[in-house]
Amino acid sequence: MRKDPKLFQHGTLAMLVAGLFDGTMSIEELLKHGDSGIGTCSGLDGEMVILDGIAYTIRRNGTVEALSGDVKTPFACVHFDPKSPGQKVSGFSLPELEAYLKGQGMGNIFYAVKLTGRFAKMKTRTVFKQEKPYPGLSEVADQQAVFEGENTTGTLIGYYAPDLYQGIASSGFHLHYLSADHALGGHVLDFQLAEADLSLTPFIHLPTSNADFLQANFDLASLNDQIQQAEH
């Protein structure tokens, strides 16, 4: 039996927003649940990229390091890459990629996205390792290091989360990048694609073939009131 692709997530983004940066799961344990994904290390020590079963961190000075199994993470998402054949895409910027995928009815689905190829432009950031007492995530993001590269070859990996998942994940795209030569990486702020293979891995505990669901607009502003009224 083919197993459905599953996303494994440790922690929530809301925990990082609240400054809960202590690592609480080892990389060794994390990699039992997936060979591909993104995350961060204890103390928010860099941006993590997991590819082919190896976890890397991109540090504040831009260096890339493969992590040993005993390093701990407060927040990471992994899945097993089904290595399904991708589609050739070219020319997209980040907003254009998002608009393209939403146009294909992917706006309400939670899925992994991987782009492997050449990027005309790539702009990333990394956060800095923090010490206790930890600040909140938005203060940390104000001090980020930004890196830019042209004509880099590498892998962009991450997730698209529908708006409903804001807080558990980061709604919309949450993407990290690692160049093949390990000279550039981090949390993706922007890019301009030259050409790449695009592969998508939907996590299908949602009704991915139901037309009403795919087209629905969820009114998050009134959701809390409506659930309180209906369920209690």
List contacts with a second copy (CB under 8 A): 8-18, 20, 22, 24-25, 74, 136-138, 140-141, 164-168, 170-172, 174, 187, 189, 205-207, 209-210, 212-213, 216, 218-220, 223-224, 226-227, 229-232
Greatest pairwise CA separation for the chain in angstroms: 56
Whichever of 8 and 197 has its CB closer to a second copy, that residue is: 8
Whichever of 146 and 216 has its CB closer to a second copy, that residue is: 216
Which tokens is 37 given? Answer: 């994904």
Whichever of 117 and 140 has its CB closer to a second copy, that residue is: 140
Whichever of 45 and 117 has its CB closer to a second copy, that residue is: 45
DSSP state string for 128-191: PP--SSP--HHHHHTT-EEEEEEEEEEEEEEEEE-GGGBTTB-SEEEEEEEETTSSSEEEEEEE
Q: How far is the CB of 175 from a second copy (least distance, A)?
A: 10
Give dist(CA 57, CA 46) in Å, integer: 6
Q: Are 134 and 21 in contact (CB under 8 A)?
A: yes
Neighbours of 4 (CB within 10 A): 10
Whichever of 66 and 99 has its CB closer to a second copy, that residue is: 99
Q: How far is the CB of 229 from a second copy (least distance, A)?
A: 5
Nearest to 125 by CA among 109, 112, 113, 141: 141
68: burial class by Cβ within 10 Å (0-12, 13-18, 19+)? Answer: exposed
Q: How far is the CB of 74 from a second copy (least distance, A)?
A: 7
Q: How far is the CB of 83 from a second copy (least distance, A)?
A: 24
Q: How far is the CB of 86 from a second copy (least distance, A)?
A: 25
For the chain, the residue count is 232
Q: What are phi and psi of 63, to 5 degrees?
A: -70, 150
Whichever of 96 and 181 has its CB closer to a second copy, that residue is: 96
Q: How far is the CB of 232 from a second copy (least distance, A)?
A: 8
